[in-house]
Structure 1
Amino acid sequence: MIVSGLAACTDSGGEEPKKWRFEAENGMLSGVEVASAGEGFSGDGYVTGFEEEQDSVEVKLQGPDDGLYRLNIGYRNNNEDKMGWLALNGKPFGDVRLAAFEGFTDAFAGKVLLNKGENTVKITRHWGWYDIDYVEIVNSEPRPQHRVENKLVNPNASKEALALHGYLVEQYGRFILAGQQNLQDALLLNWNYGKLPAIAGFDLIEYSPTRAANGSTSREIENMLQWHELGGIATLAWHWNAPVHLVNSDQQPWWKGFYAEGTTFDLEKTLAQPESEEYRLMISDIDAIAVQLKRLQDAGIPVLWRPLHEAEGGWFWWGAKGPEPAKELYRLLYDRLTAYHEINNLIWVWNSENPEWYPGDDVVDIVSVDSYPQPGDHHPVSRSYEGLVELVGDRKLVALTENGSIPDPGLLEKYEAYWSWFCTWTGEFIDDGKHNSEDFIRYVLNHERVITLDEVPDYLKPGAIPN
């Protein structure tokens, strides 16, 4: 069923900031319907019935002037958190997170560049079963100058780590560093486009003791040494195979032991029982990884270290028990690696915008998110950027540590989304031509606001920093 109607507008008048509201029930409906049961909604009703993949409502809104506005979506979702795909003026524009809430409320969906006059915002079912009440735009004041502090949380941070962080702070708000996960894919960019990214992403996954016990081997540290010799910057994650209790079945083989479904290891219980065998094995895993990190420290390589990534998603075992165990484990990792093992070449990167999951300013240098929008959606991921800036009071760098489709660097300044770097994931995201076309990759790598390896300063390269 497709029904169309004019959007209604409410202007808040002389109040600051100004808001303009457009009712969803007056929009163009596809597969959904208008309802008015219950109370607390705005206008004459709301849009409900988001059940099928393409169910949507498209709302017309009048931009008072050309410019940047904050976008809010009024909704109701009485169950667990949901999401909807967004489109702005007919083009994909990321998603909106609709947190569980009793009754009607609203969600910040990022900033949007609107034309004066008619614009459209379309909300399509991503993960459904919610009601949409209205679309609202709010005047957006220009962002004040950043207040990022050029210091690291580890008081004994190495000179290399300090130099790298200082460089990132210097570029922040002016340029974005290009990154690519996997050394082979990073080198392939040079083969295909004549440019190497400034940052390459690496993973300690195969050094996990329960993987090594099953025959896994790795040359990832050697890959990082090679990348360092080329003058590149390294970011490092750890898909940590659980220390013990792998399911190891046909459906969940041992090599999927970093997933929550691949292990029965209970982090919350283990942290509460420091005398247990599980706790001993967990610490032993950290110590095994420390051996590899020390090799990097001995080689003078600073590392953008991102442990326990995507914890709030719950799909990895370190996030499956909720925020408190994940934060406790992160702090344990920090203490074990810095105080016990005296590893000082790490710049600590936390990977969530949710305040409930934040482990604390005293153990985090940089905050980040991972973003996987629809293929070919190159929006600037402004909602997440704004959330991270607010999370740390604009006093720490903000990074896009994994991405599928690359955000358009030409939009970042317009949207005031000053990501420190991006890092495109491997596989289809770099080679299927759908997430990032060849022309778009070439455009990004040659953009005036994108830093590639040839533009990384000499003082960050091997042997350049004196003792």
Structure 2
Amino acid sequence: MIKIFTKLLFILLPFFFALQGFGQRYEAENAILSDGASEEACTACSGGFSVTQGEGNLQFNISLTEEAFYNIYIVASSPGGEKTNIISVDDTSADFQLVQNSEYTRHKVVNTYKLAAGDHVIEIKKSWGWINVDYLELEKVSVSDRFNLNQTLVTPDPTPEAAALYNFLLDNYGDKIISGVMTLNSMDEVNWLKENTGKEPALVGLDFMHSGREYNWYDDKEPINDAKDWYNRNGIPALMWHWRDPSRATDEFYANSQSNPGGTEFDITKIADPNSAEYTAMLADIDYVAGLLKELQAQNVPVIWRPLHEAAGGWFWWGAKGPEPLKALWHLMYDRMVNYHGLRNLIWVWTREPGDEAWYPGDEYVDIIGRDIYKTGDHSSHAIEFNNMNALYGGKKMITLSEVGSFPDVDKLIKDGAAWSWYMPWYGDYTRDSQYNSLELWEKMFADAYVITLDEMPELSTYVRQEPGQEPTGIWYKNVDKPSFVAYPTIVKNDLIISNESRIQTVAVYNIKGQLLKQQEVYGDTVVIPFKGYSPDIYLVRVNQKGVVKVVKE
């Protein structure tokens, strides 16, 4: 009898703890095991068993009774050393790392992820493999404090234009995503997109890769000329720097390694010695690029500035010697550009790599966090990656897809609540080849109300932060006629239907702040306006530049 009671208690304890707020638990031994993953007896484990992953995978089929946001944990050990593996929720995946540990410990692998009521598949997939898994746990969480964004730039007394651009990014964060594209030669991919879709992205990526090298075939000022021209069209210029060997011994920016034997041997550790030739060379290059950026500041042009990208990957010389020299170089660059050269027009972006916490320069030196993701044909929202990064930085920094191979589908971004600030596919095949991004997907993105294109951008130089609930301003709103058309339903879920006795020529949608979101030409007396991509709020709909009605998006 005692044995039966003990066994029953052993079985019921997990459910008791779940009721006490420990979340919903799914034993690894009850998962679908494949490719060599195997169940093992484990006296220290919940349920008396664990799963040795080996080279295999675990699949948990779960069912939820209500839509909610969840944290997802695994309880696991990694006795064979530090391991990286993949957590996948339905069609979205991300890497997670476990340090060497023979004890079974609890690890949060997914933060604040939205799951609908119904069935879901959560998988632990092999990257390195060889961890031992006790169980998976889901914990329902509140998202009321999901974001606590820094409201000002890290640069003291930024230029009005830089502050205005940052305010624009803040206002749209979580409500829309800004479209972008990287260029190799002046506006090449922008022009291709214009020719093939009829639209242009709002953000353009530019590179100082060739500047300062005295190439007789290159105009050093091409990046800043393009940045000024783009900003004059209310576009966002995003500048980066594939910084070639400062010593001029090579033209490489990749570090010499077994996989790249022709790379530079430039030694970033000399950042610690101001008397070294390497320190002098780095400072000279920083000063040169700062001079170009000062020309933009003199012309009132703000810049998204993303230097020293992907440092923790180790493939560039600035990341080849570990985190401490890299942080010292970032701090030197910031101090030299901001305090010595007086640059106040920069918005500083740090490009994260997985597990790079020791590399981070610090909140006081970074405005926005970027992530470069190259997964061919993967158009998922990358919401796991987004949520984990948001939690890592305490919700204080906007998060962006600073580079992508294949960009997310807008429907999945909206469904999963992945609030990336912008997305920027790389140039060449990443922009033009359908194996990465099809022309149909480009057109779908550019047509959706959730995606901001160049033609939808406001006057950036005078942009003012919008307060929630602020009434629209401007002559057009104060002097409009009473509406002669019919719009229904007034509480919209998906589509708004507009009909008019006379021909409808134009329909425009504004937010409650009076900013134009979308305008289209119509040739008929009835039109359907999709509201699927709009966030819940009050909107203004104007027909033929005359009457206006208020519409509530549910």
Please classify the TM superposition score into its range, dividing by the shorter chain length.
0.7 to 0.9
Q: 2: distance between equivalents of 1:267 and 1:40?
A: 47
Q: 8 Å contact 2:110–2:388 — kept in the other structure?
A: no
1:36 match: secondary structure: strand
Q: 1:186-225 to 2 correspondence within 5 Å?
A: 186-207=190-211, 209=213, 212=214, 218=220, 219-225=222-228
Range with greater deviation from structure 2 (107-116 or 419-428)? 107-116
Please tell me whether residue 243 in structure 1 is matched to residue 243 in structure 2.
no
Give, in angstroms, the shift of residue 145 of structure 1.
Answer: 6.7
Q: 1:442-457 to 2 correspondence within 5 Å?
A: 442-457=443-458
Structure 1 counterpart of 2:34: 30
Structure 2 counterpart of 1:95: 94
State the one-letter code of the partner of 1:33.
A
Q: 2: distance between equivalents of 1:291 and 1:80?
A: 47
Q: 1: distance between equivalents of 2:157 and 2:114?
A: 44
Give, in angstroms, the shift of residue 14 of structure 1.
Answer: 2.9
Structure 1's 30 and 208: CA in aligned 2 closer, same or farther, altered over 3 A?
Answer: farther
Q: 8 Å contact 1:286–1:333 — kept in the other structure?
A: yes
Structure 1 counterpart of 2:384: 383
Please tell me whether residue 65 in structure 1 is matched to residue 69 in structure 2.
no
Please tell me whether residue 47 in structure 1 is matched to residue 61 in structure 2.
no
1:99-118 deviation per Cα after TM superposition (whole angstroms, max 9, x unaligned): 32312332413454445454
Structure 1's 293 and 200: CA in aligned 2 closer, same or farther, altered over 3 A?
Answer: same
State the one-letter code of the partner of 1:226.
D
Structure 1's 207 and 96: CA in aligned 2 closer, same or farther, altered over 3 A?
Answer: same
Give, in angstroms, the shift of residue 331 of structure 1.
Answer: 0.9
Structure 1 counterpart of 2:438: 437
Q: 8 Å contact 1:208–1:241 — kept in the other structure?
A: no
Structure 1's 68 and 361: CA in aligned 2 closer, same or farther, altered over 3 A?
Answer: closer
1:163-206 deviation per Cα after TM superposition (whole angstroms, max 9, x unaligned): 11111112222211111111311222222112211101111111
Structure 1's 342 and 85: CA in aligned 2 closer, same or farther, altered over 3 A?
Answer: same
Q: 2: distance between equivalents of 1:139 and 1:117?
A: 15
Q: 2: distance between equivalents of 1:66 and 1:156?
A: 44
Q: 1:277-356 to 2 correspondence within 5 Å?
A: 277-352=277-352, 354-356=356-358
State the one-letter code of the partner of 2:155.
N
1:93-142 deviation per Cα after TM superposition (whole angstroms, max 9, x unaligned): 12221232312332413454445454222333234444444332221323
Q: 8 Å contact 2:52–2:130 — kept in the other structure?
A: no
Q: State TM-score, norm by structure 2.
A: 0.72
How many aligned positions are there? 437
Structure 2 counterpart of 1:256: 252
Q: 8 Å contact 1:181–1:202 — kept in the other structure?
A: yes
Q: 2: distance between equivalents of 1:264 and 1:190?
A: 41
1:275 match: secondary structure: coil
Structure 1's 244 and 99: CA in aligned 2 closer, same or farther, altered over 3 A?
Answer: farther
Please tell me whether residue 395 in structure 1 is matched to residue 391 in structure 2.
no
1:348 match: secondary structure: strand
1:281-332 deviation per Cα after TM superposition (whole angstroms, max 9, x unaligned): 1111111212221222233211000111111222222122222221111111
Structure 1's 384 and 124: CA in aligned 2 closer, same or farther, altered over 3 A?
Answer: closer
Q: 1: distance between equivalents of 2:291 and 2:81?
A: 41
Range with greater deviation from structure 2 (35-44 or 325-334)? 35-44
1:231 match: secondary structure: coil
1:54-83 deviation per Cα after TM superposition (whole angstroms, max 9, x unaligned): x43322223243333222334433466543
Q: 8 Å contact 1:73–1:109 — kept in the other structure?
A: no
1:15 match: secondary structure: helix
Q: 1: distance between equivalents of 2:83 and 2:233?
A: 44
1:142 match: secondary structure: coil
Structure 1's 59 and 391: CA in aligned 2 closer, same or farther, altered over 3 A?
Answer: closer
2:274 match: secondary structure: coil
2:124 match: secondary structure: strand
1:439 match: secondary structure: helix
1:149 match: secondary structure: coil
State the one-letter code of the partner of 1:102.
N
Give, in angstroms, the shift of residue 258 of structure 1.
Answer: 3.3
Which runs of 5 or more residues in structure 2 are unaligned? 1-11, 258-262, 464-554
Q: 1:146-157 to 2 correspondence within 5 Å?
A: 146-157=147-158
Whose strand proportion is higher, 1 or 2? 2
Q: 1: distance between equivalents of 2:279 and 2:216?
A: 21
Give the one of 13, 21, 26 matched to 2:25: 21
2:312 match: secondary structure: helix
1:246-282 deviation per Cα after TM superposition (whole angstroms, max 9, x unaligned): 5xxxxxxx443333531222222x0221111111111
Q: 1:118-129 to 2 correspondence within 5 Å?
A: 118-129=119-130
Q: 8 Å contact 2:242–2:253 — kept in the other structure?
A: no
TM-align CA RMSD: 2.9
Structure 1's 448 and 215: CA in aligned 2 closer, same or farther, altered over 3 A?
Answer: closer
Structure 1's 57 and 147: CA in aligned 2 closer, same or farther, altered over 3 A?
Answer: closer
Q: 8 Å contact 1:239–1:258 — kept in the other structure?
A: no
Structure 1's 20 and 313: CA in aligned 2 closer, same or farther, altered over 3 A?
Answer: same
Structure 1's 396 and 31: CA in aligned 2 closer, same or farther, altered over 3 A?
Answer: closer
1:325-371 deviation per Cα after TM superposition (whole angstroms, max 9, x unaligned): 21111111001111111222111112227432221222222222222
2:328 match: secondary structure: helix
